[in-house]
């Protein structure tokens, strides 16, 4: 009979069932989670096993489900298109066969990809047209003076080149006049387009350098991280250089007519085309939304179904098929206490599959008679998190002592010893209590972030850490690092002395007499404002940590003793447990004894005040002297009578235990 302290007794079983009942039987066993199947085909590669192709098919289906889920998450509900829809094919809503769902997912993925690609293409065209509209409007503002002729345009352009020096502006005007003289028409033209805002400064510098200053760049930031630019230049060679620069900086260039009427026509056509694209984008989004609404409510059902089928297929790869009798043979480990439920699962699988041949169960052995059994602990939602913490360090062997029951108390308590504070403890306990009270709502609700999942899974351990932090916080007398004066401090200050004295023991105001009746629980709040507060608290917490740590390790050593007794390993008792416990108790156990005696000694008593050697000794000096000079204890390091005899005995036991271990 197993428990949380020791693993369950395991039975090795062999199962015979008909090929028709294979799927339903494995499904029942997977849902019950009461068997660990052994792989009877270990010599066969995983790629060559019978269900390898179907498993890859399930992985591909899961990939498609993930893709559809991503598309569904990116979809934002629109009030105009909000209406409920259901799939016409009822088989897909609650699938029974992989083939039906696989075909539907393939079709759905193709449809979503096609319409998404179409939508992205249309939106790209819309963005380009919108940028062209902005460029046309900007050019119209800049080139409005062209109706007055080339000379008026150059004059207007020079006015806009306020950043240029007068000499540079005159040179630009002269260049245009000379070009008119030789060719009969002005060569001042422009290139307009859009560029990423982050590349704007580099583009302007490069354009200025490649043209040797024979250009003027006018730019303006627009929405979407884009910048509109117009480059005014002269000559075909300069234009070619600027075009290559635009290509290098991935700038979009748009053809802008020089004639004002042509620009106006282009602007009108652009606006009309934008309106048409808006209608197309709206219709495309509506179609995509309808497809997404058709399947998004069933994604979890499909995912669970495919994962269950994949688990069944992986389990079927571990079976052995008897061709002579057309039977599947399975072997595995089942807890002895679950044999009745295991038999019932086999029976349900046979009945649900309508198999004619009965399924048979053969118990081949119990315990280690059939090999090394798996370690199985019965856990619940409370103990599962503690078991997970233990197994992160190591898993106990079959029927070994399980440290998890001890960790239920020790782990949160040791946390509270380090971080004890009433305020912080209340916050932690209340947070965990909310998770515990509404755990069903959180479990059945939508999936949340990974961080929240960690907190939810550890809600019980967080609750215990909060409770223990409240307890140790009262001992440390801290609420957000502020002391509480619940029972009223037992110390007071007098005008005659710089030291505090007990409120019930201040016969001599100039003396520092401690109170006869100390603070009822925890530390007196006056310690927080005393000069030796930090030294006293550090000393107390350090010694408390030693006591708890040594006690913790001794419990672990005794666990190894009970394991040796359970497995009848007498050598481990004499050559492992005894040396370890002697070593631990002769050094660290003795140190714990010194700490307790030092705590319980009243160093302010009358007898101690009259004895010059009655002072709190240094425990480190005592521990070092025990090995450096056994049998000799200086008067200033004496804590109790017979201390030298105890130390000599500890050294003898330590050396004896070391010799035994060797």
Question: What is the Cα–Cα distance from 619 to 587, expressed in whole angstroms?
Answer: 12
pLDDT, average across residues 256-271? 82
Share of the chain above pLDDT 90, in %: 24
DSSP 630: T
Residue whose entry in the numeric block shows the structure tokens 């884009």: 226
CA-atom Rg of the chain in angstroms:
42
User: What pLDDT is stored for residue 149 in this prediction?
Assistant: 45
Using CA atoms, how far apart are residues 442 and 447, in angstroms rounded to an integer? 9
- Confidence (pLDDT) at 164: 47
Residue 646 CB coordination number (10 Å): 18
Helix (H/G/I), strand (E/B), else coil: 374: coil
Residue pair 390/399 in contact by the 8 Å Cβ criterion: no
Across 91-105, 273-287, 377-391, 523-537, least confident range: 91-105
pLDDT at position 637 is 79
Structure tokens at 598: 């030092």
Higher pLDDT, 494 or 29: 29
Cα gap 404→305, rounded to integer Å: 34
Confidence of residue 509 (pLDDT cuts 50, 70, 90): low
**pLDDT band at residue 471 under the 50/70/90 scheme:** very high
Average pLDDT estimate for 564-574: 90
Q: What is the pLDDT of residue 659?
A: 58
Relative orientation angle of helices 384-391 and 459-476, to the nearest 10 degrees = 90
State how far the Cα of 559 lies from the Cα of 422, in Å rounded to an integer. 34
Mean pLDDT of 352-379: 86
Report the 10 Å Cβ neighbour count for 272.
10
pLDDT at 92: 57
Determine the pLDDT at residue 96. 67
**Do 10-65+304-367 and 144-257 fold alike per CATH?**
yes
Cα 347 from Cα 21, distance rounded (Å): 10
- Region 293-316: what's the mean pLDDT? 89
Question: Taking Cα atoms as reference points, which of 156, 139, 176 lies closest to residue 262?
Answer: 139
Q: CA-CA distances (angstroms) from residue 58 to 50, 90, 170, 306, 398?
A: 14, 21, 75, 6, 35
Residue 111 Cα distances to 75, 104, 294, 300, 349, angstroms: 15, 11, 12, 20, 38
Q: Which two tokens stand for residue 64?
A: 């498609």
Of residues 177 and 306, more confidently modeled: 306
The pLDDT of residue 434: 95
- Going by the DSSP 8-state scheme, the letter that residue 511 receives in this structure is S
Over residues 359-363, mean pLDDT? 88
Angle at 45 (CA atoms; ends 39, 48), nearest 5 degrees: 105
Spatial separation of the C-alpha atoms in residues 186 and 199, rounded to whole Å: 31
pLDDT category, 631, cuts 50, 70, 90? confident
With a cut of 80, say whether residue 507 has pLDDT above it.
Answer: no
pLDDT attached to residue 161: 47
The torsion angles phi and psi of 437, rounded to 5 degrees, stand at -65, -40
CATH of region 10-65+304-367? 3.30.70
CA dihedral 164, 165, 171, 173 (to 10 degrees): 60
The 10s digit of each residue's pLDDT in 401-450 is 899 999 999 999 999 998 889 999 999 999 999 999 998 888 887 777 78
| Averaged pLDDT, 29-50 | 88
- Rounded to two decimals, the pTM is 0.71
* Contact predicate 506/492, CB 8 Å: yes
Whether residue 61 is predicted with pLDDT greater than 90 in this model: the reply is yes
Q: Phi-psi bin for 29: left (phi > 0), alpha (psi -120 to 50), beta? A: alpha
Residue 558 scores a pLDDT above 60:
yes
23: which DSSP letter? H
Strands 491-493 and 360-366: what pairing?
A: unpaired
Alpha carbon 77 to chain centroid distance?
A: 29
Indicate whether 58 pLDDT > 90.
yes
pLDDT, residue 153, reads 46
Lay out the sheet containing 215-222: strands in order across.
215-222, 226-234, 188-196, 252-254
- Asked if 589 contacts 550 with a C-beta cutoff of 8 angstroms, the reply is yes
Average pLDDT over residues 185-207: 82
- Give the pLDDT band of residue 147 (cuts 50, 70, 90): very low
CB crowding 138-175: b at 16 or more within 10 Å, else e: bbeebbebbeeebeebbebbbeebeeeeeeebeebbeb
In the predicted structure, residue 177 carries a pLDDT above the cut 70: no
pLDDT at 613 over 60: yes
What is the spatial distance between Cα 21 and Cα 95, in angstroms, rounded to a whole number? 19
**Type and span of the H or E element at 544:** helix 533-566
Render pLDDT for 326-341 as a digit per residue (tens, 0 to 9). 788 999 999 999 999 9
Q: Which two tokens stand for residue 222?
A: 């627009």
- For residue 320, the SS3 value is strand
Name which of 180, 188, 135, 201 is nearest 160 in CA terms: 188
Domain ranges in the chain are 10-65+304-367, 144-257, 379-482, 486-530, 532-662
Please tell me whether residue 389 adopts helix, strand or coil conformation.
helix
CA distance 34 to 10: 11
Question: How many residues does the structure list for the chain?
Answer: 662
What is the sign, positive or negative, of the torsion defined by CA atoms of 24, 25, 26, 30? positive
CB neighbour class for 468 (10 Å; exposed up to 12, middle 13-18, buried from 19): buried
What pLDDT score does 80 carry? 43
Residue 173 pLDDT exceeds 70:
no
pLDDT of residue 154: 46
Question: Is the pLDDT score of 187 beyond 80?
Answer: no
| pLDDT of 229 strictly over 70 | yes
Gap between the Cα atoms of 106 and 96, Å rounded: 17
Q: Which CATH number fits domain 144-257: 3.40.50.300, 3.30.70.2750, 1.50.10.10, 3.10.310.40?
A: 3.30.70.2750
pLDDT surpasses 80 at 30: yes
């Amino acid at each position: 009979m197993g428990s949380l302290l020791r693993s369950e007794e395991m039975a090795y079983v062999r199962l015979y069932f008909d090929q028709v009942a294979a799927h339903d039987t494995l499904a029942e066993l997977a849902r019950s989670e009461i068997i660990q199947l052994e792989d009877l085909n270990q010599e066969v590669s995983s790629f060559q096993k019978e269900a390898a192709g179907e498993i890859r098919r399930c992985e591909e289906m899961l990939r498609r489900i993930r893709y559809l889920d991503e598309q569904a998450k990116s979809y934002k509900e629109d009030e105009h298109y909000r209406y409920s829809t259901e799939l016409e094919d009822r088989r897909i809503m609650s699938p029974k066969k992989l083939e039906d769902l696989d075909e539907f997912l393939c079709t759905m993925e193709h449809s979503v990809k096609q319409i998404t690609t179409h939508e992205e293409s249309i939106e790209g065209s819309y963005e380009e047209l919108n940028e062209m509209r902005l460029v046309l409007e900007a050019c119209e503002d800049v080139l409005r003076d062209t109706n007055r002729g080339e000379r008026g345009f150059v004059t207007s352009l020079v006015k806009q080149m306020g950043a240029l020096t007068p000499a540079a502006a005159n040179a630009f005007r002269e260049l245009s006049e000379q070009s008119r003289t030789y060719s009969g028409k002005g060569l001042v033209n422009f290139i307009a387009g859009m560029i990423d805002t982050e590349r704007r400064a580099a583009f302007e510098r490069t354009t200025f350098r490649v043209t040797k200053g024979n250009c003027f760049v006018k730019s303006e930031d627009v929405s979407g991280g884009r910048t509109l630019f117009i480059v005014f230049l002269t000559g075909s060679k300069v234009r070619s250089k600027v075009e290559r620069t635009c290509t290098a900086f991935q700038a979009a260039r748009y053809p802008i007519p020089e004639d004002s009427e042509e620009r106006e026509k282009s602007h009108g056509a652009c606006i009309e085309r934008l309106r048409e694209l808006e209608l197309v984008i709206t219709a495309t989004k509506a179609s995509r939304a309808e497809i997404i609404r058709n399947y998004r409510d069933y994604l979890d059902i499909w995912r669970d179904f495919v994962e269950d089928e994949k688990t069944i297929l992986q389990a079927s790869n571990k079976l052995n098929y008897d061709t002579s009798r057309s039977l599947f043979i399975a072997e595995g480990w089942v807890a002895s206490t679950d044999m009745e439920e295991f038999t019932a699962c086999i029976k349900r699988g046979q009945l649900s599959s309508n198999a004619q041949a009965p399924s048979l169960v053969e118990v081949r052995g119990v315990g280690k008679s059939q090999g090394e059994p798996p370690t199985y602990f019965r856990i619940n939602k409370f103990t599962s998190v503690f078991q997970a913490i233990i197994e992160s360090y190591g898993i106990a062997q079959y029927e070994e002592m399980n440290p998890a029951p001890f960790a239920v108390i020790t782990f949160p308590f040791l946390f509270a010893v380090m971080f004890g504070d009433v305020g912080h403890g209340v916050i932690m306990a209340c947070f965990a209590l909310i998770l515990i009270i509404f755990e069903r709502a959180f479990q059945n609700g939508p999936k949340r972030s990974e961080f929240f999942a960690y907190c939810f899974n550890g809600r019980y351990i967080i609750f215990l850490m909060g409770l223990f932090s409240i307890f140790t916080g009262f001992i440390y007398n801290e609420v957000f690092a502020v002391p509480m004066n619940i029972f009223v401090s037992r110390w007071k200050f007098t005008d005659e002395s710089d030291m505090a004295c007990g409120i019930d023991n201040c016969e001599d105001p100039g003396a520092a007499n401690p109170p006869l009746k100390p603070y009822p629980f925890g530390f007196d709040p006056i310690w927080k404002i005393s000069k030796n507060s930090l030294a006293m608290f550090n000393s107390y917490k350090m010694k408390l940590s030693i006591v708890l740590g040594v006690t913790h390790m001794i419990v672990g050593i005794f666990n190894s003793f009970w394991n040796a007794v359970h497995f009848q390993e007498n050598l481990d008792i004499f050559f492992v447990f005894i040396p370890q416990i002697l070593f631990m108790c002769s050094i660290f156990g003795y140190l714990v004894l010194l700490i307790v005696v030092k705590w319980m000694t009243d160093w302010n008593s009358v007898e101690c005040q009259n004895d010059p050697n009655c002072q709190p000794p240094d425990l480190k000096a005592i521990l070092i002297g025990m090995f450096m000079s056994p049998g000799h204890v200086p008067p200033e390091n004496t804590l109790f009578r017979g201390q030298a005899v105890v130390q000599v005995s500890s050294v003898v036991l330590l050396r004896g235990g070391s010799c035994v271990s060797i």
